[in-house]
Amino acid sequence: MIARNSITAVRSTIQRCEHTNKILTKRLHTLKSKRLPTAGAATSSEASRSNNPRTPPSRRPLSSTSDEHGDTDSPLQKQKFDEASLPVSFSDISRAQVAIRNGIVRTTCEKSHFLSDIIGANVFLKAEIRQFTGSFKERGARNAILHHLREMGDGFKESGAIAASAGNHALALAYHGKLLGVPVTVVMPTVAPLAKVDKCRKFGARIIIKGAHIGEAKEYAETLVESEGLTYINGYDDPPIVAGAGTMGIEIIDDVPCVDAVIVPVGGGGLIAGVSCAVKTLKPCVKVYGVEPEFCASFTAALKAGKPVDTPTTPTLADGLAVPIVGSTAFQVARHYVDETVLCTEKQISLAVLRLLENEKMVVEGGGTAGLAALLPGGALDRPELKGKNIVVPLCGGNIDTTVLGRVLDRGLAADNRLCNFTATVSDRPGGIAKLTALLHDQQASIKDIYHERAWLQSNVDQVQVKCVVELQGSEHVGRLKTALTDAGYTVSWPLSDAS
């Protein structure tokens, strides 16, 4: 039975490689047919390109600038590339898929009828939250460990691996290190959630708490590489990590062969590099969009600069995507395959978390919902050209602290106009607040919090300000409540976001 399964696996790999070769050959013929004859001999670069069957047509990078001749294509855009020169190729991803398939969950990619109706497209959710440790990071972590075991043999089991991570990569590496008999050391910053620290420790990893943020934790981890002879595994930039993440792209094409677009969250760039390479190789017509939080747009900054650059960051709900500098390996791959990268706001992220919990009964962390956040009404990808299309959205991780989840949901309810606050001026005589609460009752507004202030009202001494937080049913309900308060003669102050 084992031999039969091995033969089946080899046949499957051979068939996939043959399919890939057909795609590349067809692409080469298309390129040659579109090339116009010229009067002179081809340059050496053109000649070498035409003789290389692995060279695809150039892809349009994400950023554009105008030159002095009015050409909207920058030198970066005109640059052609050879897939063989990239640090990660589709062959690497195919090998990774075979290597890790018995050690990870083959997650589902099912259509969400509720979200499809909201967005106006056929939305398929790739549920990576179903991995054992709760995120897609298991794909790259297992592939990286297996890669080093092949390269170093039993010596790797004696020395071990090390990584700096505050969450998902640490969990994935600790878990698969235990399964594969490789000791793992994880350096976590002081801001790492205690729940994730405890889980890593239960998987048998050596935990070191060091540094105020992930950058300082990484610096300390690198000192241990030299002093203890450990092997450092970068959670988003090592080629085996990128290749492992790319296996998700193969599954997407297998599960949704009619896919038109894939929307991928972007942090360090490893996931979108691998997925875009796999998807564009198997089905070049599919659009691949990247989405990153506006508070940490490091990939967008790298595209503008033409290389990874240090980007100022602000604490964000998508903490898993808050990487100040994208990986150089990931950037080299992603820049050639990704069609466009857009930003999402904190409000959109909180709404996406809320929509998934209410409609799909899925608990997804902020960073894992970035793709959906950009698709929701008002998002950067809420566009006519995507309406009615088949869109796959990976839900990358579900490791969110319970306390953080509560705060995110409150923000989502506020963004959805279902949680509002206002300040009203009422009489300080007996029954003043009772009349206000009676009006709220009549308008079916549920009071979540209420308190009054006397000292800061600079008007009549027999009046007080009452601050109310109420639960409503949406923007229309908010409008009715505002009208009722005004008609009743109350002086009401609303926050700027609710003033319209």
Query: The tokens 């300082």 sit on which residue?
Result: 216
What is the rounded CA–CA span in Å between residue 190 and residue 208? Answer: 10
pLDDT at 191: 78
3-state secondary structure of 387: coil
Give the CA distances from residue 226 to residues 161, 223, 249, in Å, rounded to whole numbers and listed in that order. 12, 6, 35
Q: Which two tokens stand for residue 5?
A: 């399964």
Q: Which two tokens stand for residue 24?
A: 């590349």
**Which amino acid would we find at residue 260?**
D
Within 13 Å and on the Cβ side, how many CA atoms surround 327?
25
pLDDT at 13: 56
Contacts of 33 (CB under 8 A, 6+ apart): none
Q: What is the pLDDT along the chain (500 residues), one digit of tens a residue?
A: 444 555 555 456 556 656 655 655 555 455 445 444 443 443 444 444 344 433 444 444 443 333 333 333 433 333 455 677 899 999 999 999 999 999 999 999 999 999 999 999 999 999 999 999 999 999 999 999 999 999 999 999 999 999 998 889 999 999 999 999 999 999 998 878 777 888 899 999 999 999 887 778 888 999 999 899 999 999 999 999 999 999 999 999 999 999 999 999 999 999 999 999 999 999 999 999 999 999 999 999 999 999 999 998 888 899 889 888 999 999 999 999 999 999 999 999 999 999 999 999 999 999 999 999 999 999 999 999 999 999 999 999 999 888 889 989 999 999 888 999 998 888 888 888 899 999 999 999 999 998 877 666 666 777 888 899 999 999 899 999 999 999 998 888 888 655 44
Q: In what order do the strands lie in the sheet with 261-265?
A: 109-111, 122-127, 390-395, 261-265, 287-293, 340-344
pLDDT at 458: 63
According to DSSP, the residues that pair with 450 across neighbouring strands are 468
pLDDT at 58: 41
The single-letter DSSP state of residue 58 is P
CA angle centred on 110, ends 106 and 111, rounded to 5° = 165
Where helices occur in 267-345 by DSSP H, the ranges are 270-282, 298-305, 328-337
Say what the pTM is: 0.79
What is the rounded CA–CA span in Å between residue 162 and residue 495? Answer: 48
What is the rounded CA–CA span in Å between residue 362 and residue 130? Answer: 10
What is the rounded CA–CA span in Å between residue 161 and residue 174? Answer: 9
